[in-house]
Amino acid sequence: MLKVDLHCHSNVSDGVLTPAAVARHARQAGVDVWALTDHDEVGGIAAARVAAAEQGMRFVPGVEISITWGGETVHIVGLRIDENNPALVAGLAATREGRDARGREIGVQLEKAGIPGAYEGALGFVENPALMSRTHFARYLVQEGYCANTAEVFKKYLSEGKPGYVPHRWASLQDAVNWIHGAGGVAVIAHPGRYRFTQLQQGVLFDEFKDLGGAAIEVVTGSHTPDQYPVYAKLANAYGFLASRGTDFHAPGEARVDFAALPPLPASVTPVWHDWF
């Protein structure tokens, strides 16, 4: 059976390894089919493609687009995209715009909460200046001893309602799906179990996504708890979605689950890659 991982981050967004190093890490864990899906950015795809070929892995160009839907931030993964498609490239550039200003404001808010210098500190963890993420703040706060790990930083400082949370308006669902389709890709709802929607709201999201031509939802992901795998397998079948699988890898040791430990998709679902090879 092919080992497929369709959700990973490099230091082109908020991961810590270069695209080539993520490829090596994935291969060492036995991955055969691999997608790089950096947040709002395709700058790592070219290097990732070369590295995947060197490692003998099939490569899937991808991206994870931040959108605002129902007052929440939702992530839409695009797979098999043409990363040079002009409308996609322009849409992602527009989506990245505002990340730096948000970062400065997060710094101001954290200072008020008694944590000075966080913007500059977080910048020290940023490789791509166009892509400052809350994750970079989390790593800085861990380094400075404010929290034991990044999950704790999100819980105490960076989640909605917490002192360092700064609301932000991302792309629309329709724009993100259209950019992905325009670039020849398939659209996937990332880690649906992570959003704080009621079942009713989640159903509306799935319906809207389906109407726009969305193809799949993530079922087995490092961003789900194991008890969510069967729940989203059932929902994928109920809505006629294909199922995706990926670690959502960001950094060695930082992951909730590493490459090798993530289980395969349940047999009941149709993998999003079923007709790719």
Q: How far is the CB of 45 from ligand AMP (least distance, A)?
A: 18
DSSP 46-76: HHHHHHHHHHT-EEEEEEEEEEEETTEEEEE
Name the segment binding Mn ion (CB under 5 A); options: 17-25, 75-83, 145-153, 176-184: 75-83
* Residue with smaller CB distance to ligand AMP, 233 or 245: 245
From ligand AMP, Mn ion, none, which one binds at residue 3 (CB under 5 to 8 Å depending on kind)? none
Confirm or reject binding of residue 221 to ligand AMP (CB under 6 A).
Answer: no
Nearest-approach distance from CB 139 to Mn ion, in angstroms: 11
Residue 66 binds: one of ligand AMP, Mn ion, none (C-beta under 5 to 8 A by kind): ligand AMP
Judge residue 174's burial from the number of C-beta atoms within 10 Å of its C-beta, 0-12 exposed, 13-18 middle, 19 or more buried: middle
Residue 176 backbone dihedrals phi, psi, to 5 degrees: -60, -45
Q: Minimum distance from CB of 150 to ligand AMP (Å)?
A: 5
Closest Cα partner for 7 from 26, 27, 29?
A: 26
Pick between residue 153 and residue 235 the one whose CB is nearest to ligand AMP: 153
Contacts of 197 (CB under 8 A, 6+ apart): 70, 72, 205
Q: Which is nearer to Mn ion, 75 or 181 (CB)?
A: 75
Q: Which of residues 28-47 bind ligand AMP (CB under 6 A)?
A: 39
Is 7 an interacting residue with respect to ligand AMP (CB under 6 A)? no
For Mn ion, which is the closer residue by CB, 67 or 110?
Answer: 67
66 touches ligand AMP by CB under 6 A: yes
Percentages helix, strand, coil for the chain (3-state, rounded to 5) are 40, 15, 45
Alpha-carbon distance of 193 to 228, in angstroms, equals 7
The answer to whether residue 96 forms part of the interface with ligand AMP (CB under 6 A) is no
Exactly one of 85, 135, 178, 228 binds ligand AMP (CB under 6 A); that residue is: 135
In the complex, which residue's CB is closest to Mn ion?
75
What are residue 186's DSSP bridge partners? 79
Angle subtended by helix axes 199-211 and 228-239, to nearest 10: 40
Phi/psi of residue 20, nearest 5 degrees: -65, -40
Contact 157, 141 (CB under 8 A): yes
> Total residues at the site for ligand AMP (CB under 6 A)?
10
Footprint (CB under 6 A) of ligand AMP, residues 143-182:
150-151, 154
Give how far the C-alpha of residue 7 lies from the chain's centroid of Cα atoms, to the nearest Å.
Answer: 7
CA distances from 241 to 212, 238, 270 (A): 13, 8, 8
Please identify, using beta-carbon distances, which residue of 195 and 239 lies nearer to ligand AMP. 195
Binds ligand AMP (CB under 6 A): choice among 133, 221, 228, 247: 133
Contacts to ligand AMP by CB under 6 A: 14, 39, 66, 133-135, 150-151, 154, 250
Which residues are at the interface with Mn ion (CB under 5 A)? Answer: 14, 64, 75, 190, 248
